[in-house]
């Protein structure tokens, strides 16, 4: 019985962690060794491009890589159960430690204890219980500007509460949270791409050289090559049929069946 419970918990945790990477290419799509090695999250091993082991990521990269988290010793490891982690900000349980909730108050050491979550309806929560829950692997609960509990997508900056806006790699402009634009990049070296937060959709950029050089949205990827396709798009595009194309949206294909299965397994745990 104990082994069954552990298996179910691990399956739920790993499945939820997968759902966070909506637009990311699976490493197996990169068939060339040099291309694979240009993608930060991939490794070329035994003639195959595979997901890089968590231990190979540094402290700054780790918490934002699918299925990896920094442990209490500051080392990058495969993400463990939520209860393994304590954080300074509640939002860090959500965005840095897999899909975790957080306790409402800090412990004696001043940290919030992360914990597993059960899917909830954000709109039904009180303000005291709001900032530590998920509706699903893509939607979290947070207080809005009127201190009402509301649901927000981790894949979009638009309209996020200002107190978490910059933590999700978004910008505050005129007291509104929004995503960075290509026009925000001021040098040719920076002008590669922008993303809608950490996990939202990517916009490729192009450095336009004229009387006033500037970074603009790239309208197509026809000038990208097998060597530059994935490198210039943070591994969100790959080379297929002699063309640079965007990766399949993993989350869209699996959310319905995966989430229904998760709810079923949660019900089993509840009965056990």
Among residues of the chain, what percentage have pLDDT more than 90? 53
Query: Which range, of 7-21, 99-113, 163-177, averages the lowest pLDDT?
Result: 7-21
Query: Which range, of 134-138, 193-197, 212-216, 238-242, averages the lowest pLDDT?
Result: 134-138
- pLDDT tens digits for 218-269? 998 999 999 999 989 999 999 999 999 988 875 444 444 444 444 444 444 4
- Report the pLDDT value the prediction gives residue 94, as an integer from 0 to 100: 84
- Report the pLDDT value the prediction gives residue 250, as an integer from 0 to 100: 58
- pLDDT tens digits for 160-208? 999 999 999 999 999 999 999 999 999 999 999 999 998 889 999 999 9
- pLDDT tens digits for 55-71? 999 988 898 887 899 99
- 95 pLDDT band, cuts 50/70/90, is confident
**Average pLDDT estimate for 95-111:** 87
Within 13 Å and on the Cβ side, how many CA atoms surround 242?
0
- Report the pLDDT value the prediction gives residue 263, as an integer from 0 to 100: 44
User: Is it the case that residue 210 has pLDDT exceeding 90?
Assistant: no
Asked if residues 215 and 190 have their Cβ atoms less than 8 Å apart, the reply is: yes
- 131 pLDDT band, cuts 50/70/90, is confident
pLDDT averaged over every residue in the chain: 83
- Report the pLDDT value the prediction gives residue 183, as an integer from 0 to 100: 96
Query: Could you give phi then psi for residue 171, rounded to 5 degrees?
Result: -120, 155
Residue environment code for 183-194, b if the CB has 16+ CB neighbours within 10 A, otherwise e: eebeeeeebbbb
């Amino acid at each position: 019985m104990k082994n069954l419970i552990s298996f179910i918990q691990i399956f739920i945790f790993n499945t939820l962690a997968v759902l966070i990477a909506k637009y990311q290419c699976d490493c197996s799509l990169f068939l060339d060794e040099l291309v694979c090695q240009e993608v930060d999250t991939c490794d070329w091993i035994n003639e195959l491009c595979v997901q890089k082991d968590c231990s190979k990521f540094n402290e700054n990269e780790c918490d934002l890589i699918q299925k990896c988290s920094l442990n209490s010793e500051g080392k990058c490891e495969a993400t463990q159960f939520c209860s393994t982690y304590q954080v300074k900000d509640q939002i860090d349980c959500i965005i840095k430690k897999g899909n975790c909730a957080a306790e409402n108050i800090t412990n004696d050491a001043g940290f919030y204890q992360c914990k597993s979550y059960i899917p909830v309806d954000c709109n039904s929560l009180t303000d005291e219980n709001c900032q530590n829950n998920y509706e699903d692997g893509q939607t979290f609960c947070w207080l809005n500007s009127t201190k009402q509990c509301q649901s927000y997508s981790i894949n979009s900056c638009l309209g996020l509460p200002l107190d978490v806006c910059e933590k999700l790699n978004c910008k505050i402009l005129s007291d509104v949270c929004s995503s960075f634009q290509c026009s925000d990049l001021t040098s040719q070296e920076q002008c590669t791409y922008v993303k809608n937060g950490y996990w939202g959709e990517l916009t490729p950029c192009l450095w336009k050289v004229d009387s006033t050089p500037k970074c603009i949205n790239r309208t197509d990827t026809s000038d990208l090559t097998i060597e530059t396709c994935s490198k210039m798009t943070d591994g969100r595009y790959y080379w297929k049929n002699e063309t640079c194309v965007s990766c399949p949206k993993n989350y869209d294909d699996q959310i319905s069946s995966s989430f229904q299965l998760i709810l079923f397994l949660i019900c089993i745990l509840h009965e056990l």
